Chain A
Amino acid sequence: MRVRQLQLQQQGKSLQSKSQTILEILLALLVFSIAFISLVILVNNYLKILKTAKDIIIANFLAQEGLELVIAKRNINKVQRNSWFYDLSYNKFCIDVNLIPQESNDPCQLYLNNNNQFVHDSSGTPTLFSRLIILDKSTDIATVTSMVVYSENQEIKLETVITDWLP
């Protein structure tokens, strides 16, 4: 008789733990969906970051170009037997492949011309990139800083030292 009572009590207990309601299933699906959607957003962001990586590569090449332009200018001055700073009197300036420096305190925007060259001539298509060269001169040595600013105020700065001798 006592055993039978226990059995009934146990059955009663197990019957109380009922199965999931539709609400619980929906909630579980919701939690699962949120986790999955966040994963999708993560991958989408990865793609965005890669597109930014493209801009960083271009900005780096353009910053390197800034240094090369000043070096080319110095080389031309040496070959022409001018002062090595001839035509480079400014401390801050913008310069493109046409090798004509223009004084500026802020980075000048770069445009794509008909030959798809990055130049400062504003008749072309505007790009995300702006560039400024900063020249810190002493008598026979100078520090050249090439700064490229691109989308959302990101910037890349490259620096080198040039001398009053070659190369």
Chain B
Amino acid sequence: MKNKGFTILEMTVAILIFLIGIAVISGLYINLVKQYLISQNLQASLGNVKLALEKIWREMKYGINFATTTNGIKYQRVNDCANVEIKYDTATKAILYNSSTLIGPNYFEVNNFTIYATGSFGSQGDYNVTSFKLITISLSGIAKAKSMDIPVNFQISVAPINSVFASTSCGF
């Protein structure tokens, strides 16, 4: 009598527990994969925006002949004299670098783009008095990460090196 097998009741309870366990674990696993994908996307999105802003900052730091435009700013790159315009495209919610997308709505949707330029002061001597001494770019938008959208505000400011000299030319 001691060596009997499982009864049908025991088997049913065991299978039930197993099924509940599987259901819970598969739910957790789906959540895990989802979270992982969100993390990956968020990382890529933030990395791309950071890289783009650092590129703009670096070019403006050494750039010359700044001028504000509609929804943007233009300048000359000092190393190759190329004209650059950084512009917000309201239709596609993207930041354009000479008409090509620098910060795109696929990973970051730009909702607000403000350029603030200041510093045309004085009227004296050898100094460049008309160039902007401080340029600030404020960027607010949504980092796209699968089902999760994270609002982010970035701001970079740059005091261009060549903004004080009266006779700075590009191409040196």
| Chain A residues within 8 Å of B, Cβ to Cβ | 15, 22, 25-26, 29, 32-33, 36-37, 39-40, 43-44, 46-47, 50-51, 53-54, 57-58, 61-62, 64-65, 68-69, 71-72, 75-76, 78-81, 97, 99, 112, 115-118, 127, 166-167
Can you name the residue of chain B whose Cβ is closest to the Cβ of A166? B164
* Residue in A32, A36, A69 whose CB lies within 8 Å of B134: A69
Number of interface residues of B (CB under 8 A): 56
* Residue in B42, B125, B136, B139 whose CB lies within 8 Å of A50: B42
Shortest distance in angstroms between A80's beta carbon and chain B's nearest beta carbon? 4
Can you name the residue of chain B whose Cβ is closest to the Cβ of A53? B46
Across-interface contacts of A118 in B (CB, < 8 A): 138, 153, 155
| Chain B residues within 8 Å of A, Cβ to Cβ | 2-3, 10, 13-14, 17, 21, 24-25, 28-29, 31-32, 35-36, 38-39, 42-43, 46, 50, 53, 57, 112, 114, 116, 118-119, 121-122, 124-125, 127-129, 133-134, 136, 138-140, 143, 150, 152-159, 161-165
Inter-chain contact B159/A75, CB cutoff 8 Å? yes
Most chain A CB inside 10 Å of its own CB: which residue of B134, B152, B165: B134
Inter-chain contact B153/A79, CB cutoff 8 Å? no
Shortest distance in angstroms between B6's beta carbon and chain A's nearest beta carbon? 8
Inter-chain contact B136/A47, CB cutoff 8 Å? no
Given A25-B17, A54-B152, also A79-B53 (CB < 8 A) = no
Across-interface contacts of A46 in B (CB, < 8 A): 35-36, 39
Given A115-B112, A115-B114, A117-B114, also A29-B21 (CB < 8 A) = yes
Chain B contact residues, majority secondary structure: mixed
